[in-house]
Structure 1
Amino acid sequence: MNQKGAGGLNEAMLCAGGTLSLPDLTIGARSWRIIEMALLYVAAPFAVDAAVHDGGIPVFIALIPVLAIILIVLLIDRTFSLRRELTRGFSLAQLGSILLVFAIGGGIVATYVAEYLPSLFLEFPRNRPETYQRIMLLYPLMSVIAQELVYRTFFFHRYGLLFGRAWWLAILLNGALFGLGHIVIGTPLAIYGSAAIGVLFAWRYAIARSFWAVFIEHTLWGWLVFTIGIGRFFFTGVGILSWR
């Protein structure tokens, strides 16, 4: 197994938790993975955006081909174990870090909305409690799992080796691509906000290499967005994710 220990942010930390071995990539293989990354994380979001907004296709339907390709690649890849990825835990220290960052960062965001956007603050749970409850229940299952498999598990397993020791570049690029992936929503806040929080998720995954650690962190921030009243800026206006 060509993999170093998990003692810090080094080359080994840029793989997924379910990575069994790190293959030696030829120049041709590296070039193809760069092209592949551009197709899946840059071209595909624009294609999905066109299908949703120009073709009127529900966003979940438009995303199926991309999700299917990524899942198939993971399942047939002998250097990756989905079972290992989904059974890998994380430490109490990591949980404490997740909760501390959320308490501080989430508190700042909630305070800002309450102060400067008072008409939106808590309007969703107050005005539509039943819909709010359904979203809080379904969001982790219907959205977070797929997003984390695509943007953290697959990205770090498939493309982590491309960055060598430039772990910071992998994390920043992952955040930027995560923001671009939200272009279908059609609001600047969805793109830039997702890019910023995507950097946090990418850093968390690079450190913990735990799907469930970043799943919990992603869920907490998503719940916050819907609770404090800015969820409308993170919903697409077409298809089954329509906010209105």
Structure 2
Amino acid sequence: MKTMRWAELILMFVGVPFVLAVFLPPRALYPVLGTGAVVGIILLHFTAGFRWRDLIGPVRFLETLALGVVTFVSATALCWVILPERLWYILIHAPQIMIGIAILYPLIQVIPQELVYRALFFERYGHLFASQRQAIFVNAVLFSFGHLMYWHPVVWIATFIGSFLFSHAYFRPRGFLQACALHSIAGVAIFASGLGWLFYSGGNVAQ
């Protein structure tokens, strides 16, 4: 059983992102990630001891807002340095798109990612690690690696740091929704700053 779980983990969290980044075209991004999310949710459903109702919990609005402000300010400063032509671009030139991102990003991107990278990872594979701290660190590495296809160190570093925040939120009692809230507001803030261009497959500046 343990060997099978390791095989699942490596295939889901290493194999799929590697193939997507190295061998598949950018247009394959969402079909592959969507399929992976569906497979992950099915695995989660059949994980012993997991209950969907345990995902329902409180959202800490002040903590979430604070992360949004810090992320927006930090991302704005970084965007001004490395992508000045994109600074606040969507906010200024396409506010309707920004509204769409704020609504759809949590539903289409965040919830599936959190189900796979937090709920599935820790509930199904957490026992493979010696401690919670080790599991959180490996999770951060894999969450960063899951963004390999963007081929930019800023994306990898940001997702590595974000994973620590989201994972610690998840480990609070019934913390899944708080992890989703933090992930959502951080992502929306990054897109609002203009730095989100790096997180969009069409904006891969490394290619």
Q: TM bucket by the smaller chain?
A: 0.7 to 0.9
| Offset of residue 115 of structure 1 | 6.6
Whole-angstrom CA distance in 2 between matches of 1:128 and 1:100: 25
The answer to whether the aligner puts 1:108 opposite 2:78 as a matched pair is: no
Deviations 1:185-243 (A, max 9, x none): 232322222112112111221234422101110111011011111111001129xxxxx
Q: 1:12 maps to what in 2? A: none
| Stretches of structure 2 lacking an aligned partner (at least 5 in a row) | none
Give the aligned CA root-mean-square deviation in angstroms: 2.5
Matches within 5 A, 1:125-204: 125-164=91-130, 166-204=131-169
Say whether the 8 Å CA contact 1:186–1:236 is kept in structure 2: no
Deviations 1:125-160 (A, max 9, x none): 111222222222211111111110010010110011
Q: Aligned with 1:44: secondary structure?
A: helix
Distance of 1:38 and 1:97 partners within structure 2: 33
Amino acid aligned to 2:4: W
Q: Decide which moves more: 178-187 or 218-227.
A: 178-187
Flag the structure with larger Rg.
1
Identity of aligned residues (%): 28
Match of 2:11 in 1: 39
- For residues 102 and 145 of structure 2, the distance between their equivalents in structure 1, rounded to whole angstroms, comes to 24
Q: Decide which structure has greater helix share.
A: 2
Q: Secondary structure at the match of 2:31?
A: helix
Q: Hey, what does 1:85 align to over in structure 2?
A: 54
- Amino acid in the other structure paired with 2:86: L
Q: Which residue of structure 2 lines up, in the alignment, with residue 62 of structure 1?
A: 32
State the alpha-carbon separation in 2 of the partners of residues 44 and 117 from structure 1.
29
Is the alpha carbon distance of 1:169 and 1:187 closer, same or farther for their aligned partners in structure 2, counting shifts above 3 Å? same
Structure 1, unpaired ranges of 5+:
1-28, 239-244
CA displacement at 1:116 relative to structure 2: 6.8
Kindly tell me: are residues 127 and 104 of structure 1, through their superposed partners in 2, closer, same or farther at Cα, counting changes over 3 Å?
Answer: closer
In 1, the alpha carbon distance for the partners of 2:186 and 2:11 equals 28
Query: Could you tell me how far 1:110 is from its partner in structure 2?
Result: 3.1
Q: Distance in 2 between matches of 1:101 and 1:135?
A: 18
- Hey, what's the Cα distance between the residues in 2 that align with 1:222 and 1:50? 25
Question: 3-state DSSP class of the match of 2:144?
Answer: helix
Name the CA distance, whole Å, in 1 between partners of 2:152 and 2:74.
21
- For the 8 Å contact 1:160–1:170, the answer to whether it is kept is yes
TM-score, normalised with respect to structure 1: 0.73
How many pairs were matched up?
204
